């Protein structure tokens, strides 16, 4: 399986832009660097790995992504959190922020 970078986000883009860029009916792997402020008012950053497999994706595609995810994930350095989502509600900004803290 060949992995290609489909899109690089701009620093000025927010999480909503990132989430909206994922196709509604195709699986994707994605990485997002979330900047946030802790309860102690400290600026922090965490790198998230997303396995996006929407319910509307083709079964073959979902199987391919599920079977290759762990191998692909091991190739990435610095990932601190992992999210598996089949629906946009499973990767809302509130959920991501909660996982970051």
Is residue 62 within 8 A of residue 78, CB to CB? The reply is no
Domains assigned to the chain:
15-100 (3.40.20.10)
Q: What is the pTM of this model?
A: 0.88
pLDDT of residue 17: 95
> What integer pLDDT is reported at residue 1 of this predicted model?
59
Rounded Cα distance between 80 and 62, Å, is: 24
Position 49 scores a pLDDT of 96
Ordered per-residue pLDDT tens for the chain, 101 residues = 577 889 998 888 999 999 999 999 999 999 999 999 888 999 999 999 999 999 999 999 999 999 999 988 888 999 999 999 999 999 999 999 999 88
């Amino acid at each position: 399986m060949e992995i290609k970078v489909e899109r690089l986000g701009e620093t000025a883009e927010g999480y909503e832009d990132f989430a909206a860029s994922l196709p509604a009916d195709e699986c994707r792997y994605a990485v997002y660097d979330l900047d946030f402020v802790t309860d102690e008012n400290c600026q922090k950053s965490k790198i998230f790995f997303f396995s996006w497999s929407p319910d509307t994706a083709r079964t073959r595609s979902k199987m391919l992504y599920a079977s290759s995810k762990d191998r692909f994930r091991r190739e990435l350095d610095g990932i601190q959190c992992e999210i598996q989502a089949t629906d946009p509600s499973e990767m809302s900004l509130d959920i991501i922020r909660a996982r970051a803290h």
